[in-house]
Chains A and B, each alone.
Chain A
């Protein structure tokens, strides 16, 4: 079966390496990936703060396109996109009137038949069951798995993992040979969209995350969200300013860490693109 792929803006821009690593890992396991044609913005942040119908119409269009393309299942690696798409599906399923409005606005059929997978669900479904013997270079490091906000919340809608103390990434990393640490900042805010407007706030918020990871001996932080990644990686200067020391723990996408364990070429995983040099 072909797995649909919604990259969203980040994976085509600032987080190309995330897309690269997702595709590299999928390829390694012969998972057929097909990008949704003519996809559009998921409406994260801007739309859903301003206009409810628009914020639902945008993701609905993506899901409609996927349906049209004959996709049954799509993977959405960006946590924000995942959240928007899932929330939309949920809202439309419980309000037929809203659904009708959105269908009319988009001019596209929408049945809600496409299932949406976040990256962890995708890996758990297609990769980890076939992992046996494929881990050639165990990722033998202490890692801090950082989930951020949108991957596990709101629980009522996503129904994924435990919202206060999620475990799914830790379990997955364990299988790559890593040692996940027990730490307190798994779901604390990284500063998100303030990255551009209030960099110092991001420095403080992300700083606390990096600090706790460091204090508990993590050698790498593992993430599954481009926003988290850019705040923890790209804003490392601001973080270091806040911490008053230079902390050089690298931040890896879970697909990158997995790729390394599978022995995939570092370049193919886009590790060279990070601001904080990936030494692990």
Chain B
């Protein structure tokens, strides 16, 4: 038999002004199973809480209903008070007499009647409440960071500096990401490499960081605090321990005309290569697709010239298995290539280039050593046109979003061009200038006012080649859509920032969600920007949406703090409001029939298959099992299950059914 205590709060006059609290308490005292009922001025005050505690002790209460404000306000307070008095905190429920009753209705009988109803509903519910215990899961205090761009580097360093182990994997031969390709950075124009490379070196030397370059995630299992990751270390055809990074092999390799990824195809590299001089690690890999030995079976020159015999042609990919407690995903972004734009020539004009290609032209370490020369004939362009929003904000192209970084880098490009080609003329076609950010607007104004970049508000309809010039047809919408034709020597398209290749596959491996543009989805757009819906997996940088460097870095540090918070505990505790699949005695084992339709309904991939086997290991039955580490307690599976085999603690079938009955049945 239940012994329930009802505690009606006046909340000063907030409740009592319209609800007759004494009457509510009196009516409640007559309900079946109510052993104690009282009203009090301030239930959340110390004396109020003491009232509850002493009632629990003296009357031996088995359940408590506090009729006061919203449970979203004080549920934790009263549950804690109950726990202190030795009652399981989950035996305490709150009836919302303030926000849902006294504040929204006029004084009168109907309001008091509603208040008593609300109390009754909860009294009946509490009868079916069960003692619940917080869920505890251990934590493996190692983080896996995927992606070695600036976001991944920052996250790795921050986590490593809190004293925890980090495994950083990068799919390319070197860390550095897109930032290493940039010439100067806005709004300060400091050299990208100069600020990035010290961080890269720090990663390589940090005692807490294990760096795997040329490596990708193969699979991930487990849940927060307890992930198991398989990492594929692609073969570099090299014994890294022996290699000294002398670079002799790269100079002797006969296959030299492979478009360099680092230089965005504007320069070449050999088949055995280090992507760029400051690469970390500064050791080469063999590109097996282009290497003569792998394609034709002959050559092995690198092997012959290597002074330490470090080349390993027969090296195979290696699978490394690691256990980690959290992941930071920092796989970055990509940009649309020029061939995506039929109106600008399907990529057939060599002097129509992307923003990243311009970065390489402007970079001192680039193929032109920092001189702005056009790809077709190496001439210095006298007239250059920049097109903002190439693809971005264009629903017809399937990219309705703003790529965010282009307005700023275009201003930077135009500025760099004006600094390098004093006699040159530069034009920027834009839709809007979005320069929100510290010193950003000032930077754009500087480009326009100090460096004389011509900003034209309008779109470009077509680019074609004529007599060695690129004819840019556009309109100036500030001059009444006046048609404008510019004979340019070079055109730079600020092509849309898009999700990286393979983003979907990675998301599926990680069981995280992604948006329609394949960018990874954050758990909440405002309040959980670095979390994903899978507990323990965090996001950093442009894999979530186009981001500039400062944002990527802050996000990375944010994600690192989330990881550090997680790692500050030896065990995680979670609210026990989770789904549970019932278990029964053999031979049924569970009423679950194993249709597993709940698996696709679960937003958190928290439902797994559990195989019940007999002593001989033979499969008797497969049933659903909720992983308490992953379940967030939404209950979507509960309403879905045909056999009612899943129930959610705190909102069980019996509790909710009883609430409906209690509400409509007058006592």
20 residue pairs bridging A and B, Cβ less than 8 Å apart: A162-B342, A162-B346, A163-B342, A164-B342, A164-B343, A164-B346, A164-B462, A165-B342, A165-B345, A165-B346, A183-B464, A184-B462, A184-B464, A184-B465, A184-B466, A184-B471, A188-B462, A212-B466, A215-B466, A215-B467
Smallest beta-carbon distance A159→chain B, Å = 15
Closest chain A residue to B465, Cβ basis: A184
Closest chain B residue to A186, Cβ basis: B464
Smallest beta-carbon distance A11→chain B, Å = 31
Closest chain A residue to B471, Cβ basis: A184
C-alpha spacing A165/B349, complex, angstroms? 13
Residue-wise interface mask of B (100-138) relative to A, using a CB-CB cutoff of 8 A (1 in contact, 0 not): 000000000000000000000000000000000000000
C-alpha spacing A83/B528, complex, angstroms? 50
Smallest beta-carbon distance A191→chain B, Å = 15
B342 partner residues in chain A, CB cutoff 8 A: 162-165
Smallest beta-carbon distance A143→chain B, Å = 18
Residue-wise interface mask of A (179-216) relative to B, using a CB-CB cutoff of 8 A (1 in contact, 0 not): 00001100010000000000000000000000010010
A162 partner residues in chain B, CB cutoff 8 A: 342, 346
- For the complex, count residues of B whose C-beta is within 8 A of A: 10
C-alpha spacing A185/B342, complex, angstroms? 14
Closest chain B residue to A182, Cβ basis: B465
Closest chain B residue to A188, Cβ basis: B462
Residues in B344-400 with C-beta less than 8 Å from chain A: 345-346
B462 partner residues in chain A, CB cutoff 8 A: 164, 184, 188
B464 partner residues in chain A, CB cutoff 8 A: 183-184
B465 partner residues in chain A, CB cutoff 8 A: 184
C-alpha spacing A165/B346, complex, angstroms? 9
Given contacts A162-B346, A184-B464, A184-B471, 9 further A-B contacts (CB under 8 A): A164-B343, A164-B462, A165-B342, A165-B345, A165-B346, A183-B464, A184-B465, A184-B466, A215-B467
Closest chain A residue to B396, Cβ basis: A156
C-alpha spacing A162/B467, complex, angstroms? 24
How many interface residues does chain A have, given as a range? under 10
Smallest beta-carbon distance A204→chain B, Å = 11
Residues in A104-163 with C-beta less than 8 Å from chain B: 162-163
A165 partner residues in chain B, CB cutoff 8 A: 342, 345-346
Smallest beta-carbon distance A250→chain B, Å = 23
A188 partner residues in chain B, CB cutoff 8 A: 462
C-alpha spacing A277/B342, complex, angstroms? 35
A215 partner residues in chain B, CB cutoff 8 A: 466-467
Minimum-distance CB pairs A-B, first 3: A184-B464, A164-B342, A164-B343
A183 partner residues in chain B, CB cutoff 8 A: 464
Smallest beta-carbon distance A165→chain B, Å = 6
Among the interface residues A162, A163, A165, which one has the most CB atoms of the partner chain B within 10 A?
A: A165
B345 partner residues in chain A, CB cutoff 8 A: 165
Smallest beta-carbon distance A181→chain B, Å = 12
C-alpha spacing A150/B345, complex, angstroms? 20
B466 partner residues in chain A, CB cutoff 8 A: 184, 212, 215
Residues in B138-170 with C-beta less than 8 Å from chain A: none
C-alpha spacing A162/B343, complex, angstroms? 10
Closest chain B residue to A166, Cβ basis: B342
A212 partner residues in chain B, CB cutoff 8 A: 466
C-alpha spacing A119/B342, complex, angstroms? 24
C-alpha spacing A162/B464, complex, angstroms? 16
C-alpha spacing A215/B466, complex, angstroms? 9
C-alpha spacing A212/B465, complex, angstroms? 11
Residue-wise interface mask of A (225-254) relative to B, using a CB-CB cutoff of 8 A (1 in contact, 0 not): 000000000000000000000000000000
Smallest beta-carbon distance A148→chain B, Å = 15
C-alpha spacing A164/B347, complex, angstroms? 13
Closest chain A residue to B343, Cβ basis: A164
C-alpha spacing A215/B471, complex, angstroms? 14
A163 partner residues in chain B, CB cutoff 8 A: 342
Residues in B461-484 with C-beta less than 8 Å from chain A: 462, 464-467, 471
Closest chain A residue to B464, Cβ basis: A184
Closest chain A residue to B342, Cβ basis: A164
B346 partner residues in chain A, CB cutoff 8 A: 162, 164-165
C-alpha spacing A61/B346, complex, angstroms? 40
B471 partner residues in chain A, CB cutoff 8 A: 184
Smallest beta-carbon distance A194→chain B, Å = 16
C-alpha spacing A183/B464, complex, angstroms? 8
C-alpha spacing A183/B467, complex, angstroms? 11
C-alpha spacing A124/B462, complex, angstroms? 29
Smallest beta-carbon distance B469→chain A, Å = 11
Smallest beta-carbon distance A164→chain B, Å = 3
B343 partner residues in chain A, CB cutoff 8 A: 164
Smallest beta-carbon distance A211→chain B, Å = 10
Residues in A67-125 with C-beta less than 8 Å from chain B: none
Smallest beta-carbon distance A72→chain B, Å = 33
C-alpha spacing A228/B342, complex, angstroms? 23
Smallest beta-carbon distance A115→chain B, Å = 26
Smallest beta-carbon distance A208→chain B, Å = 10
C-alpha spacing A23/B465, complex, angstroms? 38
C-alpha spacing A163/B346, complex, angstroms? 12
Smallest beta-carbon distance B218→chain A, Å = 40
C-alpha spacing A188/B461, complex, angstroms? 11
Closest chain B residue to A216, Cβ basis: B466
